[in-house]
Chain A
Amino acid sequence: MEEKVRSVLVAGAGVAGIHAALNLANLGFKVYLLDKEAAIGGKMSQLYRTAEDNFALGAITPIILEASNNPNIQIMPLTQIEAVNGEPGAFTVSLKKAPRYVDIVKCVTCSLCWRACPVKVPSEFNYGLGTRNAIYMPYGGAAPNKPSIDPETCLNLNGKEKCTKCADVCPSNAINFNDKETMLELKVGALILTPGIEPFKDAPEVKAFGYGKMANVLDNFQMDRLVSIYGPTAGELKRPSDGKIAKKIAFIQCVGSRKPEEKKSGAQNLKYCSSICCMHAIRSSLTIKGRDESNDISIFHNDIMAIAKTNEDIYSEARQKAVQFIRSQVTSVSEVPDTKDVLIHYLSEDGKEADETFDLVVLSLGLVPSKEGIRLMKTLGIKLNAEQFPELPEYSRMALPGVAIAGSFRALADSPEAVADAQAAVMEVVELLASVPDVLPSTSLPPETDVAGGEPRVGVYICDCGGIIPKVIDTDALLKFSGRLEGVVDTLKLAYACQADGMQQMKSSIQSHDVNRVVFVGCSYRSFLPKLQNLIREAGLNKFLVEMVNARELGAWVHINEKEQANERVRAELKGVVAKAKGLKPLPVSIRDVTQKGLVVGGGVAGMVAALSIASQGIPVDIIEKTDKLGGNANRLSLSYPDSLKKMIKENPRINVLYNAELKELRGRVGRFTARVQTPEGGSTGEYGAIVVAAGGKEYRPNEYLYGSDKNVITQLELEELIKKGGPELKRINSAAVIHCVGSRNNERPYCSRLCCTQAVRNSLKLKEINPKVQIYHLHRDIRTYFLNDILYQNAQKEGVSFIRYDENRGLDVSQKGGLTIRLNDSQTQKEVELKADLLILNAAVLPGEDNKTLSRLLGIPLDKWGFFQEESYMTFSPVVMSKKGISICGLAHGPKTMDESVSQARAAAAEALSVLSKEKLTRQAVHAEVNPGKCIACLTCVRLCPYGVPFINEDRVAQILPFECRGCGICVSGCPNDAIELKSFTDDDVVPQIEAMFV
């Protein structure tokens, strides 16, 4: 048997794949991050705004950079899996790497090549709007930050011309037209596949609606690029036909999807709901309305899938801002010949026909698994279901032993869920490889030179960037100038600092001249600083003893005609930076011991899954359960899964359950928490490194519709219990009515409870099984059976279950006269309907647990406005990450979700906890704020200002900031009224000399 390896291949570097890679690297795995494209980032880098309404490219760029700079992650662009052999722990993967035609080692990203390229073709990054060259980068900040040549459109490579324009201008000889496809092999322990999704353009309905034929009919992805201020029109809604600014815009939802009919041959419409397009259209509408309120927007829709906890608010905001929501069936789309306006013909809900003309029409296309993903499934022999999504075991992401699938390719969902899904896959892989020893090479770096007390010896290294910088900046003169600056002991000019020669020259010069502070003049801080930091560390210096002047992006390229002033400017910045560098202090690696024991609050399904995942890594876990048994809400469901979890918990010696227990106090921070827990046997105190909150939620107890006074009015969960018991009473029921959204989507609780539509439809099908003659009516406002659940909804309709949308303004009336009677107004027929039912089932809202308030205060983590725990959604994507480090969240405590979603997020939360618990010590070496306890007067300003709640008043009654938690913004520093906080590397002693030296 082959030796097992602690490495994982992640295929598909979108937001899910990158997160998986970062998680794995953090847990001590070697990661290969593959993408078949030339740059990583996936669909997220093309998106304008994320599900949380953050600027998507801004949100994903930091994690792209983090992955690019992580020594445990090897990014492999233009690479595809060809074959996988072997077994879990010891796979051999054959890979095919497509040629880039650009040597990324030689390339200095100077942009000359694409400016010289004569080819202009539609840009894939902009979904065909706008153009790119044959040698190109999809967008400015793409990673790797190097261009590639598209062989299809390059005149030289497609054989049309002997064009060498890019190669002619390339200063570093990086273009290689003879680059070839290469094959390689990797040994990995497991694979995580996150190949993503793509819009489905072949659906008959998409074609019928003029897509690709009518100039002003776009798809929702193209619209997103048009709305984006970073898109091809800088956010101006210029319509393709004539460039006129579109003012009247229609979105048509579910085009080519949610269509149950089957055709005999040819392309089919999709049956299922794509989950995310409703909110995407609503968000785009709000952006467009936000730019100009007079823009007229109509959304032609069916059910609105506002299923995440904040969605309903956004939906009502759109209605308030006069976005027209037209519940309808669009029957045809045609083009007005002269104006190229688009005419929509539709049937409104009440059956009336109508026409309306728009400047621009957007089709919300259905989403399908990517072709690359399907190819991968075939290569690996993973079965696909009828809808072409992978078939997976229940509550698992592991398609085959050692091969996990996650992200939107597994299930269509918003980015936070896709990320949680990827983290769950990571957790399953980590569980699988638990016994494989850590093999990450311990880097053999020289000891750091002690610079304390010694005189600063500054080395100034100036890069010519192959002659690009000297075109404007006289680097020879600059070199002489730098040699005259006080403290400078070594100066050197390099042709290409970023290439192996240059790096070696700098390193030896640093060492031979005993340089202890480094100043580099060359390209961008953002791209070169991490490499420079690694170099000086290899030369024996602390990483933070380096400063830079950007003479390329901020010099030679932007001051072409003002050479004299540009030189003066670079000299001034150099003086400043040398002055700063002289005083720079090394930043040591901060270390914090970790108590390698986990605490899980809540013993429901989410809590049990999280505890088992943590324990799988040999780490002990305590579960605090407030009742006398495990299982929580799931005990009421007809599922066997909770029982198997209970058994595993019972048999696991590392898991200790405290029953009837209550958390009373929590002190400490990430890595070392102290919890005081009260049980009937008395109080106890435990030490933990990380905490998973799985405190659960509960079902709303309705006070409407005779619930509580008529025994035939029950909740959906009570129906589950009856089904679980298999009681004979269900056989006797001849008619049943289901009322949706009882206690949710109202003024008090505007959120959607998400899981009830699907649960109700599933239970209706079960009732039909028990008694095929039963008549069932669903009384609803929207049916939100998102993704494949929509097929259940279609099945229920086929089985004769009636779905009646009632007029919510007139409401429902339930009375008891001669049996349960429900009166409502059918919004389709516009008529009053009276129904009789033997059983009335209420889809009662999911409520936050009653302990959430207390827990929130004890744990120091926030609740949202409805009382669920609020994840840190800013710039993170994961719904399990809390603002306070060391605490993660899962299950209903975070908001309504299905069992599968709870399980997935429980694993994700465990993976977060393990990023702390799996280490004996936390280490971090980064810019952070530090409190001078001698000056701190505990005024609380920093505690109140920190955007992440990091500073706290410690037992010595002074503020403290842990380097492991601090993100280095320095907001507390500028706020401190007593100058008691410093941001390392940006202290007054660093910055003030820098400012002053520039004007000497």
Chain B
Amino acid sequence: MIVADRKPFAEIMSMVEKYSKILVVGCGSCVTICMAGGEEEVKILASQLRIAFRKQGKNIEVQEAMALRQCDDEYMDDPVLIEKVRWADVVISMACGVGVQHATTFFNRIIEERPTRVVPALNTTFMGANLGAGEWEERCLGCGDCVLEKTGGICPITRCAKSLLNGPCGGSSNGICEVSKNTECAWHLIVERLNVLGELDRIKQVEPYKDWRPSHSGGMRKRVREDMRI
């Protein structure tokens, strides 16, 4: 799941303060689950905006809307939503970076009479797991070449600050990473897990340097399933 965090209000405010008709659009998938961009957060941001503008004595209008996924055309192609977008001077997207970009492209394609300005309300932070209500942790970096089979199901690329492939560095002590006392050393976990799995000897195999081309280092990635495109 994509995890995001809301931007500081001042930053959002600076993006929209010159407009008088503002539409806040939430996204009903990942960012709803991570409590950053669902309907509740849309309403709260809208309320904050109304309070802030009224405090400044400005008469602005804020409307609210939701899309199930801002990264899919079909979910955005909703007459009520499009009507609101037409009305707005600026659209605040409470989706991840994917949604914001997709919304910009989509609305500008559908609404031809004038350009649509979409601004982000969230910072997209990581791909991670929900550890319980209100807690998320990064689990995958999207390196494009998964090594989890070798590492007992614990990703050293993501969970080691240095993305080391051949055991821990000197900064690991008592299972904790020197970068933060709240972070467990990924290699400590890997060794423990391999031990449980009876595969501890696997750490003796020296991993060659990683090919980072399938990762973002090779530029923007694209995937095609030919059989589905026909």
Contacts and interface: CB of A to CB of B under 8 A. Distances in A.
Contacts of A944: 132-133
B48 interface: no
A977 B29 contact: no
Given A937-B32, A939-B32, A939-B33, A978 B133 contact: no
B33 A937 contact: yes
A843 B66 CA distance: 65
Contacts of A945: 133
A977 B136 CA distance: 15
B153 to A, nearest CB: 21
A893 to B, nearest CB: 27
Interface in A921-973: 935, 937, 939-941, 944-945
Given A941-B133, A944-B133, A945-B133, A979 B29 contact: no
A785 B167 CA distance: 58
A126 to B, nearest CB: 43
A940 B29 CA distance: 13
Contacts of A979: 38-40, 43
A976 B43 CA distance: 13
B28 interface: yes
Contacts of B43: 979
Contacts of A940: 130, 133
Given A941-B133, A944-B133, A976 B33 contact: no
B178 interface: no
Contact of B33 (A935, A975, A977): A977
Contacts of A976: 40
A100 to B, nearest CB: 51
Given A937-B28, A937-B33, A939-B33, A977 B39 contact: yes
Nearest to A939: B33
Nearest to B41: A977
B35 interface: yes
| B29, B43, B132, B133: most-surrounded residue (chain A CB, <10 A) | B133
B91 to A, nearest CB: 20
A945 B132 CA distance: 9
Nearest to B66: A978
Interface in A440-474: none
Contacts of A978: 28, 32, 38-40, 66
Nearest to A974: B40
B132 A977 contact: no
Interface residues of A, number: 13
Given A937-B33, A939-B33, A977 B133 contact: no
A977 B35 contact: yes
Contacts of B133: 940-941, 944-945, 975
A978 B33 CA distance: 8
Contacts of A937: 28-29, 32-33
Nearest to B26: A978
Contacts of A977: 32-33, 35, 38-41
Contacts of B28: 937, 978
A935 B39 contact: yes
A941 B133 CA distance: 6
Contacts of A975: 133
Interface of B is mostly: mixed
A978 B94 CA distance: 13
A16 B46 CA distance: 53
Contacts of B38: 977-979
A935 B40 CA distance: 12
Interface in A181-212: none
- Greatest chain B CB density within 10 A among A935, A940, A941, A978 is at A978
Interface in B66-121: 66
Interface string A409-426: 000000000000000000
B63 to A, nearest CB: 16
A976 B32 CA distance: 9
A60 B153 CA distance: 51
B56 to A, nearest CB: 21
B54 to A, nearest CB: 14
Contacts of B66: 978
A959 to B, nearest CB: 12
A980 B38 CA distance: 10
A935 B28 CA distance: 9
A945 B130 CA distance: 14
B190 to A, nearest CB: 27
A944 B132 CA distance: 7
A939 B66 CA distance: 16
Contacts of A941: 33, 35, 133
A945 B66 CA distance: 24
A631 to B, nearest CB: 39
A996 to B, nearest CB: 13
A978 B36 CA distance: 10
Interface in A201-242: none
B78 to A, nearest CB: 14
Most chain B CB inside 10 Å of its own CB: which residue of A935, A941, A977: A977
Interface string B1-41: 00000000000000000000000000011001101001111
A808 B32 CA distance: 57
Interface string B123-135: 0000000101100
Contacts of B35: 941, 977
Nearest to B33: A939
Interface in A482-539: none
Nearest to B42: A979
A939 B39 CA distance: 13
B39 to A, nearest CB: 4
A940 B132 CA distance: 9
A845 B176 CA distance: 38
A978 B132 CA distance: 17
A935 B66 CA distance: 11
A983 to B, nearest CB: 14
Nearest to A979: B39
A976 B39 CA distance: 9
A317 B29 CA distance: 47
Contacts of A939: 32-33
A694 B67 CA distance: 49
A980 B43 CA distance: 13
Interface in B128-162: 130, 132-133
B136 to A, nearest CB: 12
Contacts of B32: 937, 939, 977-978
A939 B41 CA distance: 15
Interface in A28-73: none
B104 to A, nearest CB: 24
A888 to B, nearest CB: 28
A945 B43 CA distance: 21
A933 to B, nearest CB: 14
A941 B132 CA distance: 8
A431 to B, nearest CB: 44
Interface string A63-97: 00000000000000000000000000000000000
Nearest to A945: B133
A944 B136 CA distance: 14
A550 B38 CA distance: 37
B47 to A, nearest CB: 11
A107 to B, nearest CB: 47
Contacts of B39: 935, 977-980
A562 B25 CA distance: 47
Interface of A: 935, 937, 939-941, 944-945, 975-980
- Give the top 6 A-B pairs by smallest Cβ distance, nearest first: A977-B38, A944-B133, A939-B33, A979-B39, A978-B38, A977-B35
21 contacts: A937-B32, A939-B33, A940-B133, A941-B33, A941-B35, A941-B133, A944-B132, A945-B133, A975-B133, A977-B33, A977-B35, A977-B38, A977-B40, A977-B41, A978-B28, A978-B32, A978-B38, A978-B40, A978-B66, A979-B38, A979-B40
Given A976-B40, A977-B41, 5 more contacts: A937-B28, A937-B29, A940-B130, A977-B35, A978-B66
Interface of B: 28-29, 32-33, 35, 38-41, 43, 66, 130, 132-133
